[in-house]
Structure 1
Amino acid sequence: MENYTVQKLKITCDEIEWLYAPDEEYVNYEGCKRYLQMIFPYRRTWEKNEKFPLVLFIPGSAWHKQEMYNNIPQYTHIAERGIFFAAMQYRESDIAVFPAQIYDVHNAMNYLIENAEKLHIDTERIFFAGNSSGGHIALLASFAMAHGLYSNQCIFPYTIKGVIAESAPADLMLCQSESLPPWMKTRPTADLLGVGSVKDNKALAVKASCEMYITKEVNLPPVLLLHGDQDSIVSVDQSRRLYKILKDNHKTVTYYELEGVNHGGAAFWTDDLIDYIEKFIQNP
């Protein structure tokens, strides 16, 4: 019988794993169910009081129906940095207009906080994040909450530690003045507001924009803004303007402009950029 040498490898690693839980229902509006895509930590044996910061991520979709599964592989890159990542589905403007999307954010948080202990979520480190229209909702929900607005559905009180907004249309009136991409026939901002014309409903558009909630007197969570300088869908002027207003009102804000980058895409999921996001979450 031949002799065989068994090769042994000595592996040293943290035994934590990251699991994907698809379609966790967080609310049911009379048959209109909304879901979370969760990427969360798992250990066979947990260390005492081990908890992880939470990122509630709001996908962009021009406020219409979201594609909830497209970016699951990219989401894992953030989760693996030691972050509980939950991407939320919100009611699209076709079935519910502003401010329904903000109420959805709070109902998602109701579910996550209620289950925080078994999910090992650190409720003292809650971050909102989103790209494009999702970035708008993340900013708006956190800024309005600082004023005590739209938060009557919050079953559990919580504080937002920071907001990460990628390519966000923060000013709906500025959106109105921008040219549409060739493939976009109507303005999604009008759909969000449930009106025929944004120009004819300026007060409502301002109410659904971030700027009106930025004052020197009201504290806002720290903000991380990311935007491609070649964005052909949401003008980079959106983030430039928001950054200036936040700075002028003495708010904590960091802004990175991505050179040669268009709207969304792989550039926002590179290791280098996730390094900046992780740094913000660990030290907002």
Structure 2
Amino acid sequence: MTICMILKKIVTSGYILAIVEYLPIPAAQFPSHVEDAKTAVRYLAKQSEELRIDSSNMFVSGDSSGGHTSLLCWATWNSTDLDTDSTEPLPDVKAFLNFYGVTDFTTIADYRSNVPHDSPTSPENLLLGDFLSLNDQEKALRASVRYYLNKETTYAPLLTMHGNKDDVVPFEQGIELQKRCLDLGLDSTFYCIDGAGHGGPAFYHEETVEEVIAFLKKHTDSFSV
């Protein structure tokens, strides 16, 4: 099963997919990508009638850097954090999905990886303005999901899928986040893709796709194809 077949299977299950592009690095830096994603969701909600979108059943998802974007949207959706581009309230989002995204920039370099995450030319440093190689832990923390999680805030359900052979974003990143969510009593589901690396065919397996669709349907109100 290819990525195109996955998208087709999700669409034929009754969902509309909108692929959001955000400003690229190094021209844009944190939190530009999160603000761009929130702006896109606002646009889709506003244009829902024209685009024939059910704005009462919206989801946000991303893989790799998009997973990090989705996670930061999830963690700040019910606050004003990382949302300086607009004072307009964000539309309701039923749930968020994270596929092998970075969860904590303060620990990512601690684990084995084929990517030197704390080097000046790493994607993380280009995104964060060289926070990691300069050892700016405060700024690195502000770009990490756990910085925005607490027991007082309400968060939408979250699904995380991560391969335990990921050699780009260490599998431990997903484990760290899930432990934090469990400690806070959050509605978070963690799905280990056994033997999978950073994306690849294992994520396109029919069983994996069915898990994604089941998660979407579980959190969709009055859903019918």
TM category, shorter: 0.7 to 0.9
Whichever structure has more strand as a proportion of its residues is 1
Q: 2:47 corresponds to which letter in structure 1? A: N
Please provide the CA RMSD for this pair: 2.1
Higher relative contact order (CA 8 A, sep 6+): 2
Q: What percent identity do the matched residue pairs reach?
A: 26
Contact 1:140-1:209 at 8 Å conserved across structures:
yes
Q: 1:244 corresponds to which letter in structure 2? A: K
Contact 1:113-1:156 at 8 Å conserved across structures:
no
Contact 1:230-1:262 at 8 Å conserved across structures:
yes
Length, aligned pairs only? 215
Whichever structure has more helix as a proportion of its residues is 2
Contact 1:173-1:198 at 8 Å conserved across structures:
no
Partner residue, 2:156: 221
Q: 1:162 corresponds to which letter in structure 2? A: A
- State how far apart, in whole Å, the 2-side matches of 1:142 and 1:248 are: 17
SS of the residue corresponding to residue 255 of structure 1 reads strand
SS of the residue corresponding to residue 200 of structure 1 reads coil
- Among 82, 101, 110, the residue aligned to 1:177: 110
Residues 181-235 of structure 1 show CA distances to partners (whole Å, capped at 9, x for unaligned) of 2799732111111126445211111001001111111111101010111111111
- Report the TM-score when normalising by structure 2: 0.87
Partner residue, 1:159: 92
Q: Equivalences for 1:44-83 in 2 at 5 Å?
A: 71-83=3-15
**Where do 4+ consecutive residues of structure 1 move more than 3 Å?**
70-74, 154-157, 182-186, 196-199
Q: 1:163 corresponds to which letter in structure 2? A: F
Contact 1:107-1:154 at 8 Å conserved across structures:
no
In structure 2, relative to structure 1, the CA distance for the partners of 1:183 and 1:192 (3 Å cut) is: closer
In structure 2, relative to structure 1, the CA distance for the partners of 1:154 and 1:267 (3 Å cut) is: farther
SS of the residue corresponding to residue 60 of structure 2 reads strand
Q: Which runs of 5+ in 1 are unaligned?
A: 1-69
- Among 105, 108, 111, the residue aligned to 2:37: 105
Partner residue, 1:5: none
Q: Equivalences for 1:92-241 in 2 at 5 Å?
A: 92-152=24-84, 153=86, 155=88, 157-181=90-114, 186-195=121-130, 197-241=132-176
- State how far apart, in whole Å, the 2-side matches of 1:119 and 1:181 are: 42
The structure with the largest alpha-carbon Rg is: 1
Cα shift at 1:76: 2.2
